[in-house]
Structure 1
Amino acid sequence: MILQTLLEREGKNAIPYRFHGQPGKTITLNCYTSAGYKPGNDVVFVQHGMMRNGDDYRDFWIRAADQHDLLIVAPTFSRADFPEAENYNNGIVLDTEGNVTARDSWIYHVPARVVADLVAAGVMEEGRARIYGHSAGGQFLHRMVSLVGVGPFKSVIAANAGWYSLPTLDTDFPAGLAGIGLGEADLRELLGAELWIMAGQMDCEANADNLPSQPEALEQGTGRLHRARNYMANGKAAAEALGCAFGWRLTEVPGVAHDGCAMSQAAAGVWFEGGLPSAEVLGAGAGAVNA
Structure 2
Amino acid sequence: MTPDLATALSAPGRAAIPWLDPACDPERPVTLHCYRPEGFTPDSPVVLIQHGMLRNGDEYRDFWIPAADRHGLLLVAPTFVALHWPQAEHYNNGLVLEGDRVRPRDSWAYAIPLRVFAALQAAGVTRRARAYLFGHSAGGQFAHRLLSTQKHDALEAVIAGNAGWYSLPTLDTRFPAGLGGIGVTHQELVKLLAYPLTILAGDQDTETQGPSLPSQPEAIAQGPHRFARAHHYLKAGQAEAARRNTACNWRLVPVAGIGHDGAAMSRVAAALWFENRLITAEEAGAQTAGAL
TM-score w.r.t. the length of structure 2 is 0.95
Q: How does 1:229-268 map to 2 (within 5 A)?
A: 229-268=231-270
Please, which runs of 5 or more residues in structure 1 have no aligned partner? none
Q: What's 1:207 paired with?
A: 209
**Deviation larger for 250-259 or 126-135:** 126-135
* C-alpha distance in 2 between matches for 1:105 and 1:33: 29
Q: What's 1:77 paired with?
A: 80
Contact 2:45–2:128 under 8 Å retained in 1: no
Q: What's 2:174 paired with?
A: 172
How far did 1:127 drift? Answer: 2.2
* C-alpha distance in 2 between matches for 1:168 and 1:24: 32
Q: Does the residue aligned with 1:139 lie in a helix, a strand or coil? A: helix
How far did 1:149 drift? Answer: 3.3
Q: What amino acid does structure 2 have at the position aligned with 1:28?
A: T
Q: What amino acid does structure 2 have at the position aligned with 1:51?
A: L
Q: How does 1:6-17 map to 2 (within 5 A)?
A: 6-17=8-19
Q: How does 1:109-258 map to 2 (within 5 A)?
A: 109-258=111-260
Identity %: 52
Contact 1:158–1:196 under 8 Å retained in 2: yes
Q: What's 2:102 paired with?
A: 100
In structure 1, which of residues 33, 36, 45 is the aligned counterpart of residue 36 of structure 2? 33
Q: Does the residue aligned with 2:241 lie in a helix, a strand or coil? A: helix
How far did 1:246 drift? Answer: 1.2
Q: What's 1:279 paired with?
A: 281
How far did 1:280 drift? Answer: 2.6
Listed one character per residue, the Cα deviations across residues 259-286 of structure 1 (whole Å, up to 9, x for unaligned) are 00000000001001111123332126x3
In structure 1, which of residues 63, 67, 74 is the aligned counterpart of residue 66 of structure 2? 63
Contact 1:39–1:125 under 8 Å retained in 2: yes
* C-alpha distance in 2 between matches for 1:103 and 1:92: 10
Listed one character per residue, the Cα deviations across residues 58-101 of structure 1 (whole Å, up to 9, x for unaligned) are 00000100111111000000111111000000010000x22211
Contact 1:201–1:253 under 8 Å retained in 2: yes
Q: What's 1:290 paired with?
A: 291
Q: What amino acid does structure 1 have at the position aligned with 2:42?
A: P
Q: Does the residue aligned with 1:29 lie in a helix, a strand or coil? A: strand
* C-alpha distance in 1 between matches for 2:71 and 2:30: 27
Q: Does the residue aligned with 1:45 lie in a helix, a strand or coil? A: strand
C-alpha distance 287-56 of structure 1, shift in aligned 2 (>3 A)? farther
Q: Does the residue aligned with 1:199 lie in a helix, a strand or coil? A: strand
How far did 1:16 drift? Answer: 0.5
How far did 1:185 drift? Answer: 1.5
Q: What amino acid does structure 2 have at the position aligned with 1:117?
A: A
Contact 1:33–1:70 under 8 Å retained in 2: yes
* C-alpha distance in 1 between matches for 2:169 and 2:33: 32
Q: What amino acid does structure 2 have at the position aligned with 1:33?
A: R
How far did 1:169 drift? Answer: 1.1
* Count of aligned residue pairs for this structure pair: 289
Contact 1:40–1:128 under 8 Å retained in 2: no
* C-alpha distance in 1 between matches for 2:133 and 2:60: 12
Contact 2:194–2:248 under 8 Å retained in 1: yes
* C-alpha distance in 2 between matches for 1:60 and 1:287: 16
Q: What amino acid does structure 2 have at the position aligned with 1:43?
A: V
Q: What's 1:53 paired with?
A: 56
TM-score w.r.t. the length of structure 1 is 0.96
* C-alpha distance in 1 between matches for 2:111 and 2:206: 31
* C-alpha distance in 2 between matches for 1:152 and 1:259: 28
State yes or no: 1:24 paired with 2:27.
yes
C-alpha distance 42-6 of structure 1, shift in aligned 2 (>3 A)? farther
How far did 1:187 drift? Answer: 1.3
**Deviation larger for 129-138 or 270-279:** 270-279
Aligned alpha-carbon RMSD (Å): 1.4
**Deviation larger for 102-111 or 270-279:** 270-279
